[in-house]
Amino acid sequence: MSDTGAVRKPIRQPTATLKWKWELVRNSRLTPEFQTLLGKVFLALLVVTVIIIVEGLILWFVSRGGSDARLNSPVDGIYFIVVSIFGETTSPTSFGARVLTLVGLFEGLILATYLIAISAIFTIKGGGLMTRSHKNHFVICGWNFQGARIVTELLNARSNQKFDIVVVPGEEIPDDLNEFGNKVFVVRGSPTDDHTLEAADIRTARSAIILTDTTLPPDSADAKVLMTTLAVETLNRQVYTCAQIMNSENEIHLQRANVDELVLFDVLGANLSVASALTPGITKVLSELVHFDEGSEFYKLTPPLPRELVGMDFKEAAAWLSNSDMILVGVESDGLPDSYRQSLDDGQRGVYVNPKGHQIRDTDALFVIGDDVPDFTKVIPPSNVK
């Protein structure tokens, strides 16, 4: 185990980093904002093209048989309107042709103004040109005062494994989110909107973190979290959803929406306050365990587990893991209830802390404390260790 507070320097793997960057380029795509901009430009050019053709035909028709020998065909009329739009023409002789020429000049000014305006709006809103297709990534829905800290912790955890972080903050991008630059991907829009979640590739996400809106009253904020959870779960039932709520009495509603984990603001704050008073120093221990840039952290070891662990009871497994500088804390299993409420919903696996006498199964997942990924990752594929 490393010394308390010692900062671990991430092991750099050039090959893995280059592969990840190549995947980023290969899976790149246009952002929804830029696609919208291109759509507006295309529509404007299409309308102008139709107008040019119509005006060119009219110009040829009104100039036919006149003294202007330059307009001998419909193509000549269209060409004359095109150059008029760009301000490069000589004055025609007939009255009708002069009127159409002036109209073409005004159309050129309007088109240029429109293109400049939509480009300026795109730039002011901070729209990007390219994004990428995401897979096995983290999606943060909503934003509050904890958002920047959550992103920082995810970035710290990314030193051991590569994954994308996609944030859906709402219609406006917060200033503290802009500070992360290109380290995260931002999708503007409501996290309750299917189109916005599709743009964030929620269907292929590993986990969704749903943040509560602390500017709203507790019940209103929890209702917004519930709507976001329903939107996420509807598009991807396999994504692991972790949601914040302010009023623990609303927990039942989120459970009915198939949320996987809840962070109860009122319960956690109160319980930690009491725990720190009864057991001084416990909050310092917990603070280290939930940081991913120093000291020890929690790790979840998912199947397949080492063959030696299967069949051991909890005490024997704890002793075996201690040889790898791992402290076994709890087990997630089909044969266990949740230890904090002694109940288990249908179809869910229970998480039990220190299940004395429990025999480790090959389908169990183990929660351990350690200062790094366990040494037996040669047996467990790295992708199975979270």
The per-residue pLDDT for range 49-93, each reduced to its tens digit, is: 888 888 888 877 777 655 555 667 788 777 777 777 776 666 665
Cis peptide before 304 (omega within 30 of 0): yes
Tens digit of each residue's pLDDT (9 = 90 or more) over 320-333: 888 888 899 999 98
Range of 369's domain?
Answer: 296-384
Which residues does 51 contact at the CB level (< 8 Å), separation at least 6? 107
Q: Are 245 and 264 in contact (CB under 8 A)?
A: yes
Mean pLDDT of the chain: 79
The answer to whether residue 168 sits within a structural domain is yes
> What DSSP letter does each residue of 84-105 carry, written as one string?
HHTT-----SSHHHHHHHHHHH
The larger pLDDT score, comparing residue 157 to residue 382, is at 157
Is residue 181 domain-shared with residue 246, that is, in the same domain?
yes
What's the CATH code of the domain at 251? 3.40.50.720
What CATH number should be reported for the domain holding residue 304? 3.30.70
pLDDT, tens digit, 9 for 90 and up, residues 347-367: 568 888 988 889 999 899 999
Q: What is the pLDDT of residues 208-241, one digit of tens each?
A: 999 999 999 999 999 999 999 999 999 999 999 9
pLDDT at 162: 80
Q: Are 178 and 252 contained in the same domain?
A: yes
pLDDT at 193: 92
131 against 57, higher pLDDT: 57
Strands 261-264 and 240-245: parallel
User: Rounded to whole angstroms, what are the CA distances from 296 to 318, 325, 332, 345?
Assistant: 17, 10, 21, 32
For residues 347 and 149, the model is more confident at 149
Residue 78 located in a structural domain:
yes
This model's pTM is above 0.85? no
* Residue 8 resides in a domain: no
Predicted local distance difference test score (pLDDT) of residue 106 = 77
Give 234-285 pLDDT, tens digit per residue.
999 999 999 999 998 998 999 889 898 888 888 877 777 788 888 888 878 8
3-state secondary structure at position 172:
coil
Q: Looking at residue 140, what is its pLDDT? A: 96
Is 139 in the same domain as 266? yes
Residue 74 shares a structural domain with residue 160: no
CATH number, domain at 52? 1.10.287.70
- Binned at pLDDT 50, 70 and 90, residue 165 comes out as very high
Last residue of a domain, one of 76, 103, 124: 124
The one-letter code for the residue type at 247 is N
Q: In whole angstroms, what is the distance from residue 214 CA to residue 193 CA?
A: 20
Out of 76, 96, 124, a domain closes at 124
Residue 301 confidence (pLDDT): 87
- Same domain, yes or no: 305 and 259: no
Per-residue model confidence (pLDDT) at position 384: 42
Sign of CA dihedral 152, 153, 159, 163: negative
Q: Is the pLDDT of residue 305 over 80?
A: yes
Would 163 be classed as within a structural domain?
yes
Residue 219 in domain = yes
Both 218 and 243 in a single domain? yes
In this structure, the answer to whether residues 111 and 215 fall within a common structural domain is no
User: For residue 51, is it within any domain?
Assistant: yes
| Same-domain status, 156 and 223 | yes
Work out the average pLDDT over 96-121: 75
* pLDDT at residue 341 in the model: 65
Burial bucket for residue 136 (CB in 10 Å: 0-12, 13-18, 19+): middle
Residues 260 and 142 in one domain: yes
Identify whether residues 261 and 149 lie together within a single domain.
yes
pLDDT surpasses 90 at 169:
yes
Residue 176 has pLDDT above 80, yes or no: yes
Percent above pLDDT 70 for the chain: 76
Which range, 111-120, 141-150, 290-299, is most confident? 141-150
Are 144 and 260 found together in one domain? yes
Please report whether residue 7 resides in a domain.
no
The last residue of one of the domains, among 124, 149, 165, is 124
CA distances from 343 to 45, 125, 337, 357 (A): 63, 48, 5, 18
Residues 114 and 149 in one domain: no
Q: How many structural domains compose the chain?
A: 3
- Determine, yes or no, domain membership for 27: no
Strands (E), the chain: 28-30, 130-132, 138-141, 165-168, 185-186, 207-210, 240-245, 261-264, 297-301, 327-333, 350-353, 365-370
pLDDT at 383 over 60: no
